Amino acid sequence: QVQLVESGGGLVQAGGSLRLSCAASGRTFSSYYMAWFRQAPGEERDFVAGISRDDGSTYYTDSVKGRFTISRDNAKNTTYLQMSSLKPEDTAVYYCAASNRLRASIRREYDYWGQGTQVTVSS
């Protein structure tokens, strides 16, 4: 079992930056594939970025490539999402997720979820 707690969301103007954090507790953090998803009102919860548990390989959905960076610090049991050049269409609740798989990109492949943190980008 692992518990995930996100922080760092807020209101930012278009073009601005935010860094989200996801603190994990419970079983060994380094054994999980970690990811960020987001869900806008009336929309599905979609994959944003993922990072492997061993070699740090990262994966991004096309709409955030070059603007968002996912990272992890296994010593601090924390995953981060650095978001830059934010756009109004990035507005959503952002969720941290952990998977027991080597790699996972769809919602049903994740075993644990945080409660979410709201990101609002004003135009």
**How do residues 66-87 score in pLDDT, each as one tens digit?**
999 999 999 999 999 999 999 9
Buried b (16+ CB within 10 A) or exposed e, 24-38: beeeebeebbbbbbb
Question: What residue ranges of the chain have pLDDT lower than 70?
Answer: 27
Confidence (pLDDT) at 88: 97
The proportion of the chain whose per-residue pLDDT surpasses 70, expressed as a percent, equals 99
Q: Does residue 97 contact residue 35 with C-beta atoms inside 8 Å?
A: yes
In angstroms, the CA 53 to CA 55 distance is: 7
In angstroms, the CA 104 to CA 95 distance is: 15
Strands 58-60 and 33-39: unpaired
Closest CA to 79 of 19, 16, 14: 19
Confidence (pLDDT) at 54: 83
